């Protein structure tokens, strides 16, 4: 059965370029991003892992650990990592999980039914501290992931997990947010001392509360 938002992210133990990983234990009480690649030594994925390494400090600021996975064996991962570091001017120091038996790919419904056995679906999962899946994005093999969008969504998820707000279309960190409809305007004025702007009774904005 396909995973859905709100499901517990399946736990697993796997070998990686950073040693053995027990997934839930590795994430601890922080956030996690797990993203899959069809195979090593593929051009789009090479740029993606390089970009992930370049954004190390951004993920750290958000208390988020990042893991990549492909169905190739560990030895292949180590060789590919050297290529990534060389071509993308970075240092990959996050785990690349080896999944030669496709156990993780099966747990996370990454197997593509109409392609070769190595063609796992290119899915990305954001997982909260409660180990529940907060976001799933699936990309075609030809399109590289937008890491600015991944960071933007992560900011939104972390904000809305702890504040009674939602984020509007194209929202960026620091911009106004939407007051949840479950809160009356009277209560919102008390809850958000920076002010509440009512456009419609159901559409009310307030400055980002955690700044």
Could you tell me where in the chain the CATH 3.40.30.10 domains are found? 13-144
Residues of the chain with CATH 3.30.1020.10: 163-206
pTM of the model: 0.92
Q: 45: which residues sit within 8 A by CB, 6+ positions away?
A: 37, 38, 39, 70, 122
In this structure, CATH architecture of domain 13-144 = 3-Layer(aba) Sandwich (3.40)
Instruction: Give me the average pLDDT of each 10-residue run along the chain (211 residues).
Output: 91 97 98 92 94 97 96 94 97 95 89 58 92 94 92 98 96 97 95 96 96 90
User: Domain 163-206's class?
Assistant: alpha beta
The residue among 92, 14, 15 whose CA lies nearest residue 47 is: 92
Q: Which pLDDT belongs to residue 137?
A: 93
Parallel, antiparallel, or unpaired for β 31-37 and 64-70?
Answer: parallel
Q: Quick one: pLDDT at residue 198?
A: 96
> Which of the following is catalytic: 9, 34, 45, 159?
45
45 is catalytic: yes
């Amino acid at each position: 059965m396909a995973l859905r938002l709100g499901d517990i992210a399946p736990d697993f133990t796997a070998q990686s370029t950073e040693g053995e990983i027990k997934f839930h234990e590795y994430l601890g009480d922080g956030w996690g991003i797990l993203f899959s690649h069809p195979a090593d030594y593929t051009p789009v994925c090479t740029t993606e892992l390089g970009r992930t390494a370049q954004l190390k400090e951004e993920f750290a600021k958000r208390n988020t650990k990042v893991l990549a996975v492909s169905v190739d064996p560990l030895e292949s991962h180590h060789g590919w990592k050297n290529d990534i570091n060389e071509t993308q001017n970075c240092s990959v120091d996050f785990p690349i999980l080896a999944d030669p038996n496709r156990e993780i790919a099966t747990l996370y419904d990454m197997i593509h039914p109409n392609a070769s056995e190595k063609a796992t679906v290119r899915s990305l999962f954001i997982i909260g501290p409660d180990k529940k899946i907060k976001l799933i994005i699936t990309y075609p093999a030809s399109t590289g992931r937008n890491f600015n969008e991944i960071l933007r969504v992560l900011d939104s998820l972390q904000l809305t997990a702890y504040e009674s707000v939602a984020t509007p279309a194209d929202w960026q960190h620091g911009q106004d947010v939407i007051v949840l409809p479950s809160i009356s305007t009277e209560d919102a004025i008390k809850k958000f001392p920076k002010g509440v702007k009512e456009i419609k009774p159901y559409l009310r904005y307030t400055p980002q509360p955690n700044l």
